[in-house]
Chains A and B, each alone.
Chain A
């Protein structure tokens, strides 16, 4: 009996020791994981900042004092810029270590080494785009001993100092769940982050979509669907004397009916576009979840993403001081992409704002003299070239001007967490950039982000700019991603410039086509001069706004800037709010961030009114139609969570797209090759008899605008009642439209779901059914004698999901509120009630630099 008991015990012990020491499937080794001293439970012990802490830091030239305020923001006071950068690196690592590694791996294409094969497509896309190589090229070009290099090196030494000294209890929960430990970072990783931002903000494939559309509906019609010049002009660079948006509506050329060959070609190009679009469209959160529907990437229409910024001159502000506000919209994640920090080097630097974990810079913020913020410009900085290759299956050479050139060949391997090779790729490149095999041939890609530039240094110098003109000068060499850089200063100046590289192309200068790669004459010819950039300083109107719209009205200054611009609803709304207010307050600026109205709404409702009049006169207007119409008439136009009108309006908008753009659906499919922007739809509304209104599936009748709009209303009314019930008074927009702030790995419980917000199509804070993007940071700055700021973001400073600082700002953000930002001049300026913790870093003896 004893033998049997012993045998059973031995087997049980072996089993439990095995699961204790080794990962079993997705379950990490349970021993270290469950250990109540150093396992997951230790996350509780390190959740909050120690009230007082002193540590030694190698490499410091003098002690650094850090005071964490009641919002968890570190105010870092050091004797030199490298010292402050080193301390910031340590602080970032303590709060955001796992996030930093994810960013680094996303660019390097090594997430599979953390989470396994499920991230393979994400990694493959990163490597195809040669992001890591581009970051290395940029880093290598930075002179040794330059200030930016010293700052970045010090920063990473600070990060690594934290990693080297961290205890088992400090290990972030994500590492525990994955059964991994952090790795050390290199200075080049800062440039990985910067190129990741370029990828997020400036990478595009509209040429391929244009080409697919060209096959389907003809070149002229396709040009109208993806216009080079927006049909509604509300430029960033104000046009003197203009007090409202310019409607530049043109009659849209009729779509042609494609033949079978053209349909097949359109399908091939569409598939190529999906493959290339996937490289940017896949969020990090998909690394551990199901892959997104990539076809939907092109079909869903205008992305409900958009950044805003605006500034008001002293003449139009209630306080008599310049005001500035900004809200960059990005993928919303926990931890947030941003980390608030205040960096002070007495006499040299005193800057407050949001930093990127993995970099020592504050790209958006303010100092004692001025404030700055950015929106994405969206200019065309990616071109495609159809290459002639020596072998259509395994090319090794490509032809330029009749001569063969060798392709650059790169062998890539992908590893799983155990170190096993799970995939191999042979990647090719021409002198222009990566070469992609597509169903329509080999396409190479040139992109400004891959070329030598040092935005890290631009940002670094911008942090100490003394005013609008100085900031503008510090940013002159900024190349990518092009940004609408808005500034305001204490002297009362406001200014903006769409800063970034604008390539000059051959021919008519347009870049929204696929070039013939066999001719070197098709390569870029140079760059636009700075004077050409869309810009203004202290305009007579007394305010400036940008919201990703086409930055310059082509009637003011000609030249190709890009195509497929987002609709200007947000820009129009900001400008209308600012025009109507000659005494703008800080609180007005705050409210504008979440203003619930959209300039799109009147266009749609006016068209609906026309359709109603036509139906009434023809006797086809029904009681149900009247009920739907009445419901929209009762709506005040505000996209508030408690409102019912937005549900029907949004359904109407979607139904209109579905009925109008039926020509863009490939035979045998249900989804469109792409969906034109809302402003193209609005342009079409001004042409009631356009051929685009005709429904191709009804061969016996030619529909007009009024027929289609009425049909869309009926679809919307029926669909909304089916979805939300027959009693419209019980409908709530907040049930349909929510924000989801997901965790970087998509881990359940680590994110925040179902946040009801004021947002709708075209509002300043837009959203779509996905709800995964939004204002990643909102802030307002008043440039008075003492510069003051207010801000928040949908997250918290800590990356530890157990910490009270992990998501403590989400509710403030959801409600559209901002909190005052502390800007102490010395480490002891904050009172006890405003101080959460203090940290003193002292140099290691003999370790000064």
Chain B
């Protein structure tokens, strides 16, 4: 059964990452994921959720880009130029924010909180 509360938090992070990337750039993923995890630090699945939400955010931004131009063609051309192929390039584009968000969440969850201090 879907935990509505978790879903809301997940969507919130995803939207935050998307907006922050749009407004400030890729590095803002760290800030979003850190803040979100601090709030959700009791959730053991926070790193996984943060990673998935960040990937979803960048995936969503790619969809938005595709409304104004040939994103698939970018994947083909750049993937071939980098000699990795289109699909791996797309996967890398989703894995990159996931890794940042997941690792940030993992780090923040490990920080001692005031409850324990």
Q: How many A-B residue pairs have CB under 8 A?
A: 129
Judge if B61 is at the interface, Cβ distance under 8 Å.
Answer: yes
Chain B residues near A20 (CB-CB < 8 A): 26-27, 96, 100
**Which stretch of A4-12, A232-240, A461-469 is in the interface?**
A4-12
**Which stretch of A38-46, A61-69, A553-561 is in the interface?**
A38-46
Q: Within the complex, which residue of A2, A9, A45, A173 is in contact with B68, where a contact is CB–CB below 8 Å?
A: A45
| Residue ID in chain B nearest A4 by CB atoms | B110
Chain A residues near B21 (CB-CB < 8 A): 35-37
A35–B110 alpha-carbon span in the complex (Å): 28
| Residue ID in chain A nearest B112 by CB atoms | A2
Tell me whether A5 and B68 are in contact (CB under 8 A). Answer: no
Chain B residues near A802 (CB-CB < 8 A): 69-70, 73-74, 77
Q: Within the complex, which residue of A2, A36, A750 is in contact with B109, where a contact is CB–CB below 8 Å?
A: A2
A750–B74 alpha-carbon span in the complex (Å): 11
Contacts of A140-196 to chain B: CB distance below 8 A: 173, 177
- CB proximity of B65 to chain A, nearest CB, Å: 5
Given the known interface contacts A9-B47, A9-B103, A17-B100, the answer about A36 and B62 at a Cβ–Cβ threshold of 8 Å is yes
| Residue ID in chain A nearest B26 by CB atoms | A31
Tell me whether A44 and B100 are in contact (CB under 8 A). Answer: no
Judge if A580 is at the interface, Cβ distance under 8 Å.
Answer: no
Q: Within the complex, which residue of A16, A173, A748 is in contact with B100, where a contact is CB–CB below 8 Å?
A: A16
Chain A residues near B79 (CB-CB < 8 A): 749
Q: Within the complex, which residue of B26, B64, B73, B107 is in contact with A9, where a contact is CB–CB below 8 Å?
A: B107
Judge if A13 is at the interface, Cβ distance under 8 Å.
Answer: yes
Contacts of B23-76 to chain A: CB distance below 8 A: 25-27, 30, 47, 58, 61-62, 64-66, 68-71, 73-74, 76
Chain A residues near B76 (CB-CB < 8 A): 749
- CB proximity of B56 to chain A, nearest CB, Å: 12
A98–B93 alpha-carbon span in the complex (Å): 24
A455–B83 alpha-carbon span in the complex (Å): 42
| Residue ID in chain A nearest B60 by CB atoms | A36
Tell me whether B70 and A31 are in contact (CB under 8 A). Answer: no
Given the known interface contacts A36-B93, A749-B77, A749-B80, the answer about A47 and B69 at a Cβ–Cβ threshold of 8 Å is yes
- CB proximity of A195 to chain B, nearest CB, Å: 30
Q: Within the complex, which residue of B25, B64, B70, B82 is in contact with A177, where a contact is CB–CB below 8 Å?
A: B82
Tell me whether B106 and A12 are in contact (CB under 8 A). Answer: yes
Chain A residues near B22 (CB-CB < 8 A): 37
Judge if A552 is at the interface, Cβ distance under 8 Å.
Answer: no
Q: Within the complex, which residue of A12, A21, A34 is in contact with B96, where a contact is CB–CB below 8 Å?
A: A34
- CB proximity of A174 to chain B, nearest CB, Å: 9
Given the known interface contacts A9-B110, A177-B82, the answer about A38 and B100 at a Cβ–Cβ threshold of 8 Å is no
- CB proximity of A507 to chain B, nearest CB, Å: 54
| Residue ID in chain B nearest A12 by CB atoms | B103
Judge if A306 is at the interface, Cβ distance under 8 Å.
Answer: no
Judge if B78 is at the interface, Cβ distance under 8 Å.
Answer: yes
Q: Within the complex, which residue of A6, A39, A749 is in contact with B81, where a contact is CB–CB below 8 Å?
A: A749
Tell me which of B80, B82, B102, B104 has the highest count of chain A C-beta atoms within 10 A of its own C-beta.
B82
Chain A residues near B104 (CB-CB < 8 A): 9, 13
Given the known interface contacts A20-B100, A37-B21, A747-B81, the answer about A45 and B109 at a Cβ–Cβ threshold of 8 Å is no
Tell me whether B74 and A12 are in contact (CB under 8 A). Answer: no
| Residue ID in chain A nearest B27 by CB atoms | A31
A94–B47 alpha-carbon span in the complex (Å): 42
Chain A residues near B87 (CB-CB < 8 A): none
Chain B residues near A47 (CB-CB < 8 A): 69-70, 73
Tell me whether B83 and A41 are in contact (CB under 8 A). Answer: no
A515–B54 alpha-carbon span in the complex (Å): 71
Tell me whether B103 and A36 are in contact (CB under 8 A). Answer: no
Majority-rule SS of B interface residues: helix
Q: Within the complex, which residue of B99, B105, B106 is in contact with A8, where a contact is CB–CB below 8 Å?
A: B106
Judge if B111 is at the interface, Cβ distance under 8 Å.
Answer: yes
A527–B112 alpha-carbon span in the complex (Å): 86
Judge if B7 is at the interface, Cβ distance under 8 Å.
Answer: no
Tell me whether B107 and A173 are in contact (CB under 8 A). Answer: no
A801–B26 alpha-carbon span in the complex (Å): 24
Tell me whether A35 and B25 are in contact (CB under 8 A). Answer: yes
A41–B92 alpha-carbon span in the complex (Å): 13
Judge if A3 is at the interface, Cβ distance under 8 Å.
Answer: yes
Tell me whether B66 and A35 are in contact (CB under 8 A). Answer: no
| Residue ID in chain A nearest B25 by CB atoms | A35
* A-side interface size class: 35 or more
Judge if A48 is at the interface, Cβ distance under 8 Å.
Answer: yes
- CB proximity of A530 to chain B, nearest CB, Å: 50
Chain B residues near A750 (CB-CB < 8 A): 77, 81
Q: Within the complex, which residue of A6, A36, A37, A44 is in contact with B106, where a contact is CB–CB below 8 Å?
A: A6
Chain A residues near B110 (CB-CB < 8 A): 2-3, 5-7, 9
Judge if A32 is at the interface, Cβ distance under 8 Å.
Answer: yes
Tell me whether B96 and A16 are in contact (CB under 8 A). Answer: yes
| Residue ID in chain A nearest B24 by CB atoms | A37
Chain B residues near A749 (CB-CB < 8 A): 76-81
- CB proximity of B62 to chain A, nearest CB, Å: 5
A35–B73 alpha-carbon span in the complex (Å): 16
Judge if A30 is at the interface, Cβ distance under 8 Å.
Answer: yes
Tell me whether A173 and B78 are in contact (CB under 8 A). Answer: yes
Chain B residues near A43 (CB-CB < 8 A): 69, 74, 78
| Residue ID in chain A nearest B106 by CB atoms | A9
Chain A residues near B78 (CB-CB < 8 A): 40, 43, 173, 177, 749
Chain B residues near A42 (CB-CB < 8 A): 65
Tell me which of B100, B102, B110 has the highest count of chain A C-beta atoms within 10 A of its own C-beta.
B110
- CB proximity of A611 to chain B, nearest CB, Å: 49
A47–B67 alpha-carbon span in the complex (Å): 12
| Residue ID in chain A nearest B78 by CB atoms | A40
Tell me whether A32 and B81 are in contact (CB under 8 A). Answer: no
Tell me whether A48 and B106 are in contact (CB under 8 A). Answer: no
Tell me whether B81 and A12 are in contact (CB under 8 A). Answer: no
Tell me whether A16 and B103 are in contact (CB under 8 A). Answer: yes
Chain B residues near A38 (CB-CB < 8 A): 25
Tell me whether B69 and A6 are in contact (CB under 8 A). Answer: no
Given the known interface contacts A34-B96, A36-B58, A36-B65, the answer about A17 and B106 at a Cβ–Cβ threshold of 8 Å is no
Q: Within the complex, which residue of B25, B62, B71, B80 is in contact with A32, where a contact is CB–CB below 8 Å?
A: B25
A403–B82 alpha-carbon span in the complex (Å): 58
Given the known interface contacts A3-B110, A20-B27, A32-B26, the answer about A13 and B100 at a Cβ–Cβ threshold of 8 Å is yes
Chain B residues near A6 (CB-CB < 8 A): 106-107, 109-111
Chain B residues near A30 (CB-CB < 8 A): 92, 96
Given the known interface contacts A47-B69, A749-B76, A801-B77, the answer about A37 and B61 at a Cβ–Cβ threshold of 8 Å is yes
Interface string of A40-58 (1 = CB under 8 A from B): 1111111110000000000
A18–B91 alpha-carbon span in the complex (Å): 19
- CB proximity of B80 to chain A, nearest CB, Å: 3
Tell me whether B82 and A41 are in contact (CB under 8 A). Answer: no
| Residue ID in chain B nearest A804 by CB atoms | B70
Chain B residues near A21 (CB-CB < 8 A): 27
A472–B102 alpha-carbon span in the complex (Å): 71
A808–B97 alpha-carbon span in the complex (Å): 35
A32–B83 alpha-carbon span in the complex (Å): 19
Q: Within the complex, which residue of B93, B100, B109 is in contact with A41, where a contact is CB–CB below 8 Å?
A: B93
A747–B81 alpha-carbon span in the complex (Å): 5
A45–B62 alpha-carbon span in the complex (Å): 11
A422–B82 alpha-carbon span in the complex (Å): 25
Given the known interface contacts A6-B109, A30-B96, the answer about A748 and B74 at a Cβ–Cβ threshold of 8 Å is no
Chain A residues near B80 (CB-CB < 8 A): 748-749
A35–B62 alpha-carbon span in the complex (Å): 9
Given the known interface contacts A5-B106, A34-B96, the answer about A748 and B83 at a Cβ–Cβ threshold of 8 Å is yes
- CB proximity of B67 to chain A, nearest CB, Å: 9
15 contacts between A and B (CB under 8 A): A3-B110, A17-B100, A30-B92, A31-B27, A34-B26, A35-B21, A36-B64, A37-B21, A38-B25, A45-B65, A747-B81, A749-B78, A749-B80, A749-B81, A802-B73
Q: A13-B107, A16-B96, A45-B68 are in contact. List 5 more A-B contacts (CB 8 A).
A: A17-B27, A17-B30, A31-B25, A44-B66, A44-B71
The 10 A-B residue pairs whose C-beta atoms are closest, nearest first, are A6-B110, A749-B80, A9-B106, A44-B69, A13-B103, A36-B61, A31-B26, A12-B103, A9-B107, A747-B81
